[in-house]
């Protein structure tokens, strides 16, 4: 049989227990912490995957497929030379570096108008390298220091995967990113040890075109 319960000691729905109050308070604190990201954290947070990057600029070493509609004899696949120029049928030594594929196509059309009636040109880039100014450079105690072509939504973790991680002599949490802002170099401290060894995703930040990642050697 059920024992009668004293109505004076029975908790009511209007009076939450202490444990319930504690749970509610903890939830509110977590929500507040999650919604108050520091301005610098918001600025350097990793962007969504769907965010488009800046327009691609052609660089030395890129391969270009140039199609001229209804003129197959003028269609060609050419590399961008180290001097930043290309040569195609009827067009010699045109500067390609630093231009978008669309801008280069319009420039080619302007020249071809002398020989072809209303030319329509399409430029497709393959073997992406990009101009030197937008490449990401990794120096110091990386397994494979190198310059990496910038891609939209590149993160610090993406860069570390590309260079093969850190050497055993690296002081990852003393690494810095040198970023040019308004014509001046700005140094941003990053935590590579926390990111790679501890899996701390909060240490993963976005990378911008032209960033230089410097990884110092640890003290002995």
Q: Using CB atoms within 10 A of its CB, is residue 18 exposed (0-12), middle (13-18) or buried (19+)? A: exposed
DSSP strand pairing (184-189 vs 176-181): antiparallel
Say which DSSP state 2 is in. Answer: P
Q: Where is the domain boundary, 106, 126, 146?
A: 126
Q: Where is the domain boundary, 109, 126, 143?
A: 126
Q: 49-64 pLDDT, tens per residue?
A: 557 878 999 999 999 9
Number of domains in the chain: 2
Q: Using CB atoms within 10 A of its CB, is residue 112 exposed (0-12), middle (13-18) or buried (19+)? A: buried
Residue 46 domain-assigned (yes or no) = no
Q: Do 146 and 210 share a domain, yes or no?
A: yes
Q: 182-212 pLDDT, tens per residue?
A: 999 999 999 999 999 999 999 999 999 999 9
Q: Do 155 and 115 share a domain, yes or no?
A: no
Domain range for 178 is 135-215
Residue 16 domain-assigned (yes or no) = no
Which pTM does this prediction carry? Answer: 0.73
103 token code pair: 């801008």
| pLDDT of 146 above 50 | yes
């Amino acid at each position: 049989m059920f024992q009668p319960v004293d109505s004076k000691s029975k908790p009511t729905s209007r009076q939450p227990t202490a444990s319930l109050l504690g749970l509610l308070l903890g939830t509110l604190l977590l929500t507040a912490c999650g919604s108050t990201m520091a301005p610098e954290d918001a600025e350097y947070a990793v962007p969504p995957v769907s965010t488009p990057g800046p327009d691609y600029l052609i660089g030395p070493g890129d391969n270009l497929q140039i199609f001229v509609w209804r003129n197959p004899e003028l269609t060609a696949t050419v590399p961008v030379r180290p001097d930043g120029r290309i040569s195609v049928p009827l067009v010699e030594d045109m500067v390609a570096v630093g231009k978008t594929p669309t801008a280069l196509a319009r420039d080619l059309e302007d020249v071809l108008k002398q020989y072809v009636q209303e030319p329509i040109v399409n430029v497709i880039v393959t073997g992406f390298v990009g101009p030197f100014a937008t490449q990401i450079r990794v120096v110091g105690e990386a397994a494979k220091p190198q310059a990496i072509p910038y891609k939209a939504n590149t993160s610090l973790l993406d860069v570390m995967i590309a260079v093969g991680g850190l050497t055993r002599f690296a002081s990852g949490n003393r690494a810095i990113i040198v970023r040019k802002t308004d014509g001046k170099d700005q140094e941003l401290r990053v935590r590579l040890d926390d990111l790679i060894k501890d899996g701390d995703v909060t240490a993963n930040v976005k990378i911008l075109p032209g960033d230089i990642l410097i990884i110092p050697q640890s003290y002995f």
